[in-house]
A = this chain, B = another copy of it.
Amino acid sequence: MEKKIKVVQMGLGPIGNQATRYLAEKAGIEIVGAVDVDPDKVGQDVGVLAGIDEIGVTVAASIEQALNGKNADCVLLTTASSLEKIYDQLVKLLHYGVNIVSSCEELSYPWLTNTKMAMDIDELAKKHNVSVLSTGINPGFLMDFLPVAMSGVCRSISKVTVERIQDATFRRVPFQKKIGAGLTVAEFHEKVKAGSLRHVGLTESLHMIASRLGWKLDKTDDTISPIIATKLVQTDAMIVETGNVLGVEQIGVGIVAGKEVIRLSFRAAIGEPDVRDRIIIEGSPQIDTCIKDGVNGDVATCAILINAIPVVVKAGSGLRTMVDIEPISYFA
């Protein structure tokens, strides 16, 4: 029998608890530690906290308590989307010589958006002979890894377009609120201005694609607009008046020599039609790939984090990205 991979789960918000449930299902993984700063969670069994059976691992308040003497192979880090916010956590973890899989969107491809931190993490990871990878469905898969992987069959490429279109009608209410559903247009723009209504990662995905296709982007854009109700729309959870917001459209664009070469379009709204994920590569041959109904982000985001663990544990050291590591795949 192969040795189990020893994993510490760090960050026990909704994603962290879901990760715990998925980790517990894997025969090849052993949860050996858990950590969260919330005093209400510290001391609880991490399985019970996640809503499953007791695992026998107590939530610790600090990295030291969670990792000391555990010989962990990998930490699954699901604490924040901002690289600045998790930087100190990464540094502390790397000193333990553990590999890290993270859900931090800004860590998915920080080489151009936060070069100094990227280089420091890379250097520290190499020094301790471990690797660091941030992944997820988006960024991490749909709008970067997958178009890059599809491009491998092309002789020439002039443009890459990715569309992710989601109907929020039957999603959780927090998701509906996150995309601005029910707000007035003024409220929507205030939230965008405050930075609280924004999908993080389009710029990282643009750079990830460009890096592998050998394109030097002169400019990137990331614009957010409201999708507005043209008639009254009612769901189980809310009423959206005509003229108010059904959801969001966010578009990331990469430009070379004045020409748009990458377009990443994310739409999520109540009642949105034509739900799907689509990748179009203009070139030779043309590639037009459509994932029917789109990839379910609730399950997929967490699944890919778990599935990344064995690949990251055996990868060469340093800060890795989804486009310079072996493909992440399901494992039984």
Contacts and interface: CB of A to CB of B under 8 A. Distances in A.
Interface of A: 22, 25, 28, 137, 141, 145-146, 148-149, 151-157, 212-215, 283-293, 295-296, 299-300, 302-304, 306-308, 316, 323-332
A284 B328 CA distance: 16
Given A212-B331, A292-B290, A296-B285, A149 B152 contact: no
Q: How many copies does the complex hold?
A: 2
7 contacts: A141-B152, A152-B327, A152-B330, A155-B299, A213-B331, A288-B293, A289-B292
A155 B303 contact: yes
Contacts of A304: 152-153
Contacts of A285: 295-296, 299-300, 303
Contacts of A290: 289-290, 292
A214 B1 CA distance: 13
Nearest to A285: B296
Contact of A307 (B145, B152, B292): B152
B148 A327 contact: yes
A22 B125 CA distance: 38
A297 to B, nearest CB: 9
Nearest to A136: B153
